[in-house]
Amino acid sequence: MNRASFFVPLAAFVVIVIIGFAGFQLGDKSVLPSPLIGKPFPAFEAPLLENASDVRDENDLKGRPLLVNVWATWCPTCKAEHEMLMKIRATSSLEIVGVNYKDQRNQALAWLARYGNPYSFNLFDADGQIGIELGVYGAPETFLLNEQGEIVYKRVGDVNERIWAEEIQPRLKEMRGGGV
Amino acid sequence: MIIELGHFAMVLTLGLAVLTALFGISAGRGPFAAGLRSVPSLVVGQLVFTALAFATLAHAFLEDDFSVRYVAENSNTLLPEIYKFTAVWGGHEGSFLLWALIMTVWMCAVTLRGGHLPERFRAQVLGVMGLMNVGFVAFLLFTSNPFERLVPFTPSDGSDLNPLLQDFGMIIHPPMLYVGYVGFSVAFAFAIAALLSGRLDAAWARWSRPWTNAAWGFLTLGIALGSWWAYYELGWGGWWFWDPVENASFMPWLIGTALVHSLAATEKRGVFKSWTLLLAIAAFSLSLLGGFIVRSGVLTSVHAFAVDPERGAFILIFLMIVVGGSLLLYAVRAWQLAGRATFEPSSRDFFLLINNVLFTVALVVVLAGTLAPIVYEAITGGKISVGKPYFDMIFVPLMLLLAAALAVSPPLNWKRTGFARIRARLGIATASAVVISLAAFLFIESEVPWQSLAALALAIWVVAGHVQDLVLRVRGSRLPGLAYWGMFAAHLGFAVSLTGVALTVALTEERDLVMSPGQVVEHGGWQVTFEGMSSVRGPNYIAERGTFRVAQNGANLMLTPEKRRYSSGGSIMTEAAIDPGLFRDLYISLGDPLDGESRAVRLHFKPFVRWIWFGALLMTLGGFVAVLDRRYRRVKSPAVQAVPEPAS
Amino acid sequence: MHPTRRKRMIIVLFILAGAGLALGLVLVGLGENVNMFYPPEDVVSGKAPVETNIRAGGMVLEGSWQRDGQTLNNEFVLTDRVDAQFPVRYSGILPDLFREGQGVIVEGQLNARGTFEAERVLAKHDENYMPPELAGMGEAAQE
């Protein structure tokens, strides 16, 4: 047989890998740049999860760097992510604000009571209005905001050790002028 | 502290695996030449430390140590002891620990049973396996560590093992699959060693065959157990769903089956050499795909990658290195090993080629069907599903072709067979198959699709042909060896499974209906009486139990299907009640309560369903029996005295 | 041609035929038997074809599940929790993991009046029974 024909399986494999790689690049929405980056957090008005009569708006997100985390009790990844958020809360001074997305109030409160509450407060987004403004594609999604309330970084999927160490912490440092 | 000991043992295993790979693959040459002699002890060391790690995790489960995250996620104080132990491999992390343990057991087996192999060749085989184990253990330690602690937030109780996994079938099904998957690493390592050393002869094929047969046997058993489990545990009477998870185990089986057959041709005739190597590489690569990707959930959706980027990336990179690396080696070296022999279309060689082509086509079909939704989703973002209709449409004709080829094959000689011999040998079998088939068709009263009739007739033909061949051989001068008996059992098993599939598909009667207490219905020739519901309490669940009296011609039996609610998590499970039989199963499962005392009920009458698994057991048996053939145990083949020099 | 060569040709042709067969089967099979999956948005907007076998899915709207106490007929509404929702009719036994607020997949046909006539209803673990990650999803979603 022809010597070159022995390269056919390798070539086929390489082609499959390239197609697959291209496909996943296209489909991997977690790396798509969000049009929101660099823009101020969209205007909203929403009640607190903890207290329906207390209504907050975008101005409550200004004044300090913040992590805005979109979560829901129906979202399995949120459960996995929760522990990391607890850890961030315990080990850093970064404040986390929750957006409880298309959820039910009593279930969400029960969840926080059971697994712990890493959030300084939670916006209750029952109809997904904030989610639409933010272009939320699925929970969990997390936004890093600077002191002016502008979105600096967006993460689709869970925040884990790697994201925290490689994506969020460096940006936070930069924001705080390298120090603190 | 004990669990940290396990963690440490795995770190040591990783070190030993690295050394095994280094010393083994260099096989007494280069800077690591001195390590050659230590390879066997390194292998034993890996087994000891991995077993130790496994034992510490099992201990944590039995002691309810919920400070270990993996234990907390997969166990519970109420869980019965036996399930606490089996929960060790109930989740992702633990199942990879089991995987690594099985890998070390296979390596040890090669060390112990491979005494007749040239030392350097054996070292290379073990080195390649050691290299794979480096990947497995690294995956375990860096992305899926079962030894991680949950401190300071130690929960007071665990979140329970998924009730679906609290079951005998599920306890043994994954380990059997893993033994099969990992077993193909031996064939793979033999192939790589052949490419490295430039040696591929009849002796090589004879060494590879028992390992391949054994791995294939375990994989067959694992798949059959999975099918059986799904049948009785999922509560709706299906035995194969063509879902990605099943396909992932079916793909290495298809290629493994092709490999078992092409190895036979390579050993006896020196043909298909480079093709055999390719199949060995493919079988193991697909096993990796099956084992890794199923457990990580990637097959179901691309989003699993986004959820867990480290694991996904590790798996992809590892697969790329293994597959890409071995195919590169193949491209560079395999041409030197290609065979030169020729054969006629009337030869056994040619029919083994048919077998290989059909199984490879089947593989391509399953692979395409399994990956299509993932690729489609990745590219367009939309979702499609490829299900039963696709696979049925293609698999039915493929399997019929395969059965036809198998039916004709017994009288064939290697290289070429005279038509006179074929006519003489095939005549009786064919005639008897035709007669039995016709009789069977008359006996079957209901409407049966032509595919089932064809499959049944072919199955009978296969059996008749093989039995005739066996009779001729037994009457001949000497009794055939165990390898022949293994082949006979496996082919018989194929015919039995084919019969089971054909008849179950054609004759199953299933019905969802509403029954109130005291009501009697006719189903599959049985009178089924719903006697009422009661409440029972299990160790970690509460069940509603329905009582059904089933009667036919004076025979009377009780069936008690249940609906269980598990105390932790509140998951609900349907436990079907089955009256198994050689020729039919009666299957009842409960639906939801309706008005008053009435109840939704699902009744199945499934003729010959057990034959599907029984046939698979025969195939498994065949694989194992063939391993025991004396030819494979004979020490030092005459051709093997000197160490093969590398070809370049 | 040299006889050995001819034999080799036959084998090569045979393998090529196998490859062609595989490709053909896959293309025809996929072309004929792929079920498209439609989220509620597409069902409502008319993107999903009528009277064709399709799959659709969504969350079972709370309070929408009605069952006839005498027969196996069920009716419920699937929603994407934004604004799209559509009614489903199904006669048969629902899977264990079916309940309001849960995600389900329905297989069947959409009729001209916009009701989905389901032949099969799948809750999470039915098609993905083995990966504990997925089985776990069902549980997490229930909590």
pLDDT in tens, A119-144: 989 999 887 778 777 776 667 888 89
* Residue numbers in B near A29 (CB within 8 A): 306
Q: What is the pLDDT of residue B643?
A: 42
Cα–Cα distance between A52 and A46 in angstroms, integer?
9
Same domain, A28 and A39: no
User: What does the pLDDT look like over B21-50, one tens digit per residue?
Assistant: 999 998 878 888 888 889 999 999 999 999
Among A76, A128, A132, beta carbon nearest to C141: A76
* Residue numbers in B near C49 (CB within 8 A): none
Q: What is the pLDDT of residue A103?
A: 81
Cα–Cα distance between B380 and B165 in angstroms, integer?
35
Q: What is the mean pLDDT of residues B326-353?
A: 84
Cα–Cα distance between A130 and A41 in angstroms, integer?
10
- The domain containing residue C16 runs over which residues? 1-34
On whether ipTM exceeds 0.90, the answer is: no
Q: What is the pLDDT of residue B254?
A: 97
Q: What is the pLDDT of residue C5?
A: 67
Cα–Cα distance between B450 and B506 in angstroms, integer?
10
Cα–Cα distance between C124 and C109 in angstroms, integer?
20
Tell me whether residue A112 is in a domain: yes
Please give the order of strands across the beta sheet that includes B584-593.
Answer: B509-515, B599-607, B584-593, B577-579
Q: What is the pLDDT of residue A35?
A: 63
For residue A5, the chain B residue with the least C-alpha distance is B331
Residue C129: pLDDT band with limits 50, 70, 90: very low
Cα–Cα distance between A25 and B369 in angstroms, integer?
22
Same domain, A12 and A77: no
What is the domain-level CATH number for residue A99? Answer: 3.40.30.10
Q: How many CA atoms lie within 13 A of B15 on its CB side?
A: 8
Whether the predicted pLDDT of A177 surpasses 70: no
Cα–Cα distance between A32 and A35 in angstroms, integer?
9
Phi-psi category of residue A159: left, alpha or beta, with phi > 0 → left and psi -120 to 50 → alpha: beta
CA nearest neighbour of B2 among B62, B46, B42, B45: B62
- To the nearest whole angstrom, how far is the Cα of A95 from the nearest Cα of chain C? 26
Domain end among B139, B161, B183: B161
Cα–Cα distance between B70 and C132 in angstroms, integer?
12
Tell me whether residue B169 is in a domain: no
Residue A179: pLDDT band with limits 50, 70, 90: very low
Q: What is the pLDDT of residue C94?
A: 86
Q: What is the pLDDT of residue C143?
A: 27
Q: How far is CA B395 from CA B402, B498, B579, in A?
A: 10, 12, 30
Identify the three-state secondary structure at position B270: coil
- Which is higher by pLDDT, C50 or B17? B17
User: What does the pLDDT look like over B58-82, one tens digit per residue?
Assistant: 999 999 888 888 888 888 888 888 8
State how many domains chain A has: 2
Tell me whether residue A180 is in a domain: no
Whether the predicted pLDDT of B123 surpasses 90: yes
Given an 8 Å threshold on Cβ–Cβ distance, is B364 in contact with C22? yes
Q: What is the pLDDT of residue C118?
A: 92
Q: What is the mean pLDDT of residues B235-264?
A: 89
Whether the predicted pLDDT of B398 surpasses 50: yes
Q: What is the pLDDT of residue C81?
A: 67
User: What does the pLDDT look like over A1-46, one tens digit per residue?
Assistant: 567 788 888 998 888 888 767 665 544 444 444 567 778 888 888 8
* Length of chain A as a residue count: 180
Helices (H), A28-154: 76-91, 105-115, 129-134
Whether the predicted pLDDT of C132 surpasses 90: no
Q: What is the pLDDT of residue B328?
A: 95
Q: What is the pLDDT of residue B476?
A: 78
User: Percent of chain C beyond pLDDT 70?
Assistant: 78
Q: How far is CA C26 from CA B254, B380, B398, C33, in A?
A: 16, 20, 12, 10
Whether the predicted pLDDT of B306 surpasses 60: no
Given an 8 Å threshold on Cβ–Cβ distance, is B330 in contact with A29? no
Same domain, A67 and A83: yes
What is the domain-level CATH number for residue C94? Answer: 2.40.50.140
Q: What is the pLDDT of residue B641?
A: 41
Same domain, A140 and A73: yes
Domain end among B161, B193, B228: B161
Same domain, A9 and A89: no
Tell me whether residue B404 is in a domain: no
C31 touching B (Cβ < 8 Å): no
Tokens for B196, please give them. Answer: 């490295």
Identify the chains in contact with B, defined as 3+ C-beta pairs within 8 A. Answer: A, C
Q: What is the pLDDT of residue B299?
A: 56
Residue at B225: amino acid letter: L
Q: List beta partners, residue C106.
A: C56, C121
Residue at B57: amino acid letter: L
Cα–Cα distance between A72 and A82 in angstroms, integer?
11
Cα–Cα distance between B233 and C140 in angstroms, integer?
21
B157 touching A (Cβ < 8 Å): no
State how many domains chain C has: 2
User: Percent of chain B beyond pLDDT 70?
Assistant: 92
Q: How many CA atoms lie within 13 A of C26 on its CB side?
A: 19
Same domain, C63 and C133: yes
Given an 8 Å threshold on Cβ–Cβ distance, is C140 in contact with A128? no
User: Percent of chain B beyond pLDDT 90?
Assistant: 44
Tokens for A62, please give them. Answer: 């200004």
Same domain, C75 and C6: no
Q: What is the mean pLDDT of residues B409-414?
A: 85
- Which is higher by pLDDT, B190 or A74? B190
Tell me whether residue B576 is in a domain: yes
State the pairing for strand pair B562-566/B572-575. antiparallel
Q: What is the pLDDT of residue B339?
A: 66
Tell me whether residue A2 is in a domain: yes
Same domain, C26 and C60: no
State how many domains chain B has: 2
Same domain, A60 and A8: no
Q: What is the mean pLDDT of residues A45-73?
A: 87
User: What does the pLDDT look like over B367-379, one tens digit per residue?
Assistant: 888 888 777 776 7
Q: What is the pLDDT of residue A45?
A: 86
Identify the three-state secondary structure at position C28: helix
Whether the predicted pLDDT of C34 surpasses 80: no
Cα–Cα distance between B247 and B391 in angstroms, integer?
11
Q: What is the pLDDT of residue A114?
A: 83
Q: What is the mean pLDDT of residues B506-532?
A: 88
- CB B624, CB B486: distance < 8 Å: yes
Residues within 8 A of B (CB atoms), C 81-110 only:
91-97
Same domain, C21 and C42: no
Taking all residues of chain B, what is their mean pLDDT, rounded to a whole number? 86
Residue B587 CA from chain centroid, whole number: 26
Q: Report CA dihedral (C120, C125, C129, C132) to the nearest 10 degrees.
A: 170
Same domain, A28 and A69: no
Tell me whether residue B116 is in a domain: yes
Q: What is the mean pLDDT of residues C49-65?
A: 83
Q: Report CA dihedral (B209, B211, B212, B217) to the nearest 10 degrees.
A: 120
Among B81-85, B311-315, B509-513, C115-119, name the one with the lowest average pLDDT: B311-315
Residue B26 CA from chain centroid, whole number: 33
DSSP letter assigned to residue B57: H
Cα–Cα distance between B540 and B569 in angstroms, integer?
11
Q: What is the pLDDT of residue A1?
A: 54
Query: Which residue, among B142, B281, B303, B326, would best test binding to A if mutated, counting the most A CBs under 10 Å from its CB?
Result: B303
A105 touching C (Cβ < 8 Å): no
- The domain containing residue A18 runs over which residues? 1-32
pTM score, whole prediction: 0.81
Q: What is the mean pLDDT of residues B170-181?
A: 89
B324 touching A (Cβ < 8 Å): yes
Cα–Cα distance between B107 and B182 in angstroms, integer?
10
Given an 8 Å threshold on Cβ–Cβ distance, is A80 in contact with B307? yes
- The domain containing residue B75 runs over which residues? 1-161
Q: What is the mean pLDDT of residues C35-47?
A: 81
Among B217-226, B288-297, B515-524, name the one with the lowest average pLDDT: B288-297
Taking all residues of chain C, what is their mean pLDDT, rounded to a whole number? 74
Top mean-pLDDT range of A155-159, B2-6, B245-249: B2-6
Residue B648: pLDDT band with limits 50, 70, 90: very low
Residue C2: pLDDT band with limits 50, 70, 90: low
Tell me whether residue B114 is in a domain: yes
Cα–Cα distance between B320 and B317 in angstroms, integer?
5
CA nearest neighbour of B105 among B207, B180, B169: B180
Given an 8 Å threshold on Cβ–Cβ distance, is B307 in contact with A14? no
Same domain, C51 and C70: yes
* B-C C-beta contacts closer than 8 Å: 148
Same domain, C67 and C134: yes
- To the nearest whole angstrom, how far is the Cα of B477 from the nearest Cα of chain A? 41
Q: What is the pLDDT of residue A138?
A: 63
Residue C26: pLDDT band with limits 50, 70, 90: confident
Same domain, C122 and C111: yes
Cα–Cα distance between B461 and A150 in angstroms, integer?
76
- CB C135, CB C125: distance < 8 Å: yes
Q: What is the pLDDT of residue C128?
A: 32
Q: What is the mean pLDDT of residues B416-437?
A: 81
Same domain, C93 and C26: no
Q: What is the pLDDT of residue B131?
A: 96
Given an 8 Å threshold on Cβ–Cβ distance, is A27 in contact with B324? no
Whether the predicted pLDDT of C1 surpasses 60: no
Q: What is the mean pLDDT of residues B231-244?
A: 80
Same domain, C94 and C48: yes
- Which is higher by pLDDT, B469 or C82? B469
Identify the chains in contact with A, defined as 3+ C-beta pairs within 8 A. Answer: B, C
Same domain, C45 and C99: yes
Taking all residues of chain A, what is their mean pLDDT, rounded to a whole number? 80
